[in-house]
């Protein structure tokens, strides 16, 4: 009976299958440029204080550019954008120039100056990054000429350049998030920019569709659909179109996720009675069965190198997070706190120098929140608290942020430490999946 309740939660309306499936200091003589970059990438260091004043030029576009730059850098987990109300500089007179003494007075370590104009259906954006300690010469300068409709993209591109300059790593500012959109019983798969712009629907079958998962190429999505009345696994191009059948076996065909190399699909099937985890080929042929016991094994999530899989099992009484080899060997329970842990999402990079798996767990007040568990030490860290009920985490491809659904309505993105959070979609939404990195 207990296992039937667990599976029923998985298949219940609203959450439908979301729950079922189930360094050292710089050396003497080191260049100032190197020291600043070390500071911003060193775990535990204070966030880099960045001033992002209103761009000069077209007032219609200036606010949009400033908003996108600020939001990108805020959610990167690396910067603390300063309050524009504190700025002392004469922005109109300075335009793209920067007086370091004026910006030192407001506590800025870096300043982004920009100018934007439009004409003939095109946008021209001129951006410059200054490090206050280096004086009034910009350390990074870029110009973008794009169609006027791509103003947000231009701002995303410069924000990405700023992150690259300081850290040497790619940002997630050019990425997208897929999710289920709409009421229970009739939910389509939608895709949007990571910050909520450009929402578009990619399925149009009028059924309940959920649990999207990205192919590593970013070109198409796996998803679970009830178009035939039962939970089946389909694929659809990210641009939209007719769904392609992957698995329609009796029972559950759900929670499909691509391996990092795009050659296999881990999925939950119940063709043999109860929910178990299998590997399929891209065409849906069963390659192997990874779990085999009388209990429910659900919600597979690949490790970044594809050598391991995290999953949910209730074989010891309550749903908990487990890990195993990608061959099914070495199945080990890694959560021992809480009585309802589910929806694992393996971080694409170490968090705080350690491997991490995000999951949603139910606390003593019957509220779900987002947690991290270290698969090596089994240490658990709580990321959300007193912000409603939060479920189904999914990582940005660089591991700097997560997206999750919330009882507050819609989808939220938070930095990897959970300290900074922003709502990115308002309305009925569930089971978000953050897409791979996209080069501008």
> pLDDT digits over 339-383, tens only?
899 999 999 999 989 999 999 999 888 999 999 999 999 999 999
Q: What is the pLDDT, as a whole number, of residue 185?
A: 79
pLDDT at 335 > cutoff 60:
yes
What is the reported pLDDT for 45? 63
Higher pLDDT, 200 or 32: 200
* Band of residue 40 on the pLDDT scale cut at 50, 70, 90: low
247-306 pLDDT, tens digit each: 999 999 999 999 999 999 999 999 988 999 999 999 999 999 999 999 999 999 999 999
| For residue 26, pLDDT beyond 70 | no
CA atoms within 13 A on the CB side of 238: 22
The contacts of residue 120 (CB under 8 Å, 6+ apart) are none
State how far the Cα of 55 lies from the Cα of 69, in Å rounded to an integer: 11
* Lowest mean pLDDT segment, chosen from 6-20, 57-71, 121-135, 144-158: 6-20
3-state secondary structure of 434: strand
Return the pLDDT at 243.
93
Mean pLDDT value of segment 230-249: 96
The two tokens of residue 17 are 């299958």
| pLDDT reported for residue 92 | 78
CA dist 247 and 388 (Å) reads 35
For residue 89, what pLDDT band results from cuts at 50, 70 and 90? Answer: confident
Q: How far apart, in whole angstroms, are the C-alpha atoms of residue 398 and residue 113?
A: 26
Q: Hey, CA dihedral for 32, 112, 435, 210, is it positive or negative?
A: positive
Query: 64: buried, middle or exposed (CB in 10 Å: 19+, 13-18, 0-12)?
Result: middle
Q: Give the residue-averaged pLDDT of 218-233.
A: 96
Average pLDDT, the chain: 90
Domains of the chain, each with CATH number or no CATH: 2-22+173-434 (2.120.10.30), 46-167 (3.40.50.10070)
200: left (phi over 0), alpha (psi -120 to 50) or beta: beta
Question: Which of these ranges, 10-14, 292-296, 385-389, has the smallest mean pLDDT?
Answer: 10-14
Mind giving me the DSSP string for 56-98? Answer: EE-HHHHHHHHHHHHHHHHHTTSEEEPPGGG--S-HHHHTT--
Where residue 35 falls among pLDDT bands split at 50, 70, 90?
A: very low
Cα gap 294→139, rounded to integer Å: 61
Alpha carbon distances (Å) from 103 to 109, 340, 420: 8, 50, 24
Region 49-54: what's the mean pLDDT?
96
- Of the listed ranges 80-94, 207-221, 286-300, 353-367, the least confidently predicted one is 80-94
Q: What is the pLDDT of residue 15?
A: 35
Length of the chain: 440
pTM of the predicted model, to two decimals?
0.91
Return phi, psi of residue 321, to 5°.
Answer: -85, 130
User: What are the structure tokens assigned to 40, written together?
Assistant: 């911003």
Q: How far is CA 421 from CA 385, 413, 431, in A?
A: 12, 6, 18
Neighbours of 228 (CB within 10 A): 12
Secondary structure element (H or E) that encloses residue 32, with its range: helix 32-41
- In whole angstroms, give the CA distance from residue 115 to residue 308: 48
In DSSP terms, 390 is beta-bridged to 406
pLDDT at position 94 is 84
Whole-angstrom distance, CA of residue 113 vs CA of residue 162 = 12
Question: Average pLDDT of 216-234?
Answer: 96
Q: Are 180 and 427 in contact (CB under 8 A)?
A: no
CA 4 – CA 296 distance, rounded (Å): 10
Other Cβ atoms closer than 10 A to 11: 16
The pLDDT of residue 42: 53
Q: What sign results for the dihedral spanned by CA atoms 83, 84, 88, 94?
A: positive
């Amino acid at each position: 009976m207990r296992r039937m309740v667990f599976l029923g939660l998985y298949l219940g309306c609203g959450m439908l299958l979301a729950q079922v499936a189930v360094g050292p200091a710089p050396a003497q003589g080191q260049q100032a440029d190197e020291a600043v970059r070390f500071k911003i990438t060193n775990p535990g260091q204070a966030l880099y204080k960045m001033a992002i004043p209103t761009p000069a030029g077209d007032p219609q576009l200036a606010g949009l550019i400033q908003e996108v730059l600020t939001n990108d850098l805020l959610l990167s987990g690396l910067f603390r954008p300063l309050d524009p109300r504190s700025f002392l500089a004469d922005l109109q007179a300075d335009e793209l120039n920067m007086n370091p003494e004026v910006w030192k007075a407001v506590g800025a370590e870096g300043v982004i100056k920009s100018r934007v104009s439009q004409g003939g259906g095109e946008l021209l954006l001129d951006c410059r990054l200054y490090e206050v300690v280096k004086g009034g010469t910009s350390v990074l300068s870029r110009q973008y000429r794009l169609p006027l409709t791509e103003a947000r993209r231009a701002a995303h591109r410069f924000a990405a350049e700023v992150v690259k300059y300081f850290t040497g790593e790619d940002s997630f500012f050019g990425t997208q998030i897929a999710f289920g959109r709409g009421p229970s019983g009739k939910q389509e798969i939608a895709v949007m920019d990571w910050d909520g712009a450009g929402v578009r629907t990619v399925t149009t079958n009028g059924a309940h569709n959920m649990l999207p998962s990205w192919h590593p190429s970013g070109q198409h999505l796996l998803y679970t659909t009830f178009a035939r009345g039962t939970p089946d696994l389909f694929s659809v191009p990210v641009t939209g179109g007719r769904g392609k059948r992957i698995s329609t076996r009796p029972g559950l065909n759900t929670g499909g996720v691509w391996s990092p190399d795009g050659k296999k699909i881990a999925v939950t099937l119940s063709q043999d009675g109860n929910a178990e985890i299998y590997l399929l080929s891209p065409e849906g042929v069963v390659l192997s069965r990874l779990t085999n016991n009388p209990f429910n094994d659900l919600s597979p999530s690949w490790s970044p190198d594809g050598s391991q899989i995290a999953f949910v099992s209730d074989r010891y009484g309550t749903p908990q997070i487990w890990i195993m080899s990608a061959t099914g060997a070495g199945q080990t329970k890694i959560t021992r706190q809480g009585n309802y842990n589910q929806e694992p999402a393996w971080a694409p990079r170490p968090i705080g120098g350690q491997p991490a798996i995000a999951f949603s767990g139910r606390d003593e007040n019957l509220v779900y929140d987002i947690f991290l568990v270290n698969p090596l030490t089994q240490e658990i860290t709580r990321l959300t608290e007193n912000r409603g009920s939060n479920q189904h985490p999914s990582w940005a491809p660089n591991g700097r942020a997560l997206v999750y659904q919330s009882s507050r309505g819609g989808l939220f993105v938070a930095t990897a430490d959970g300290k900074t959070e922003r709502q990115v979609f308002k309305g009925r939404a569930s089971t978000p999946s953050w897409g791979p990195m996209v080069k501008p």
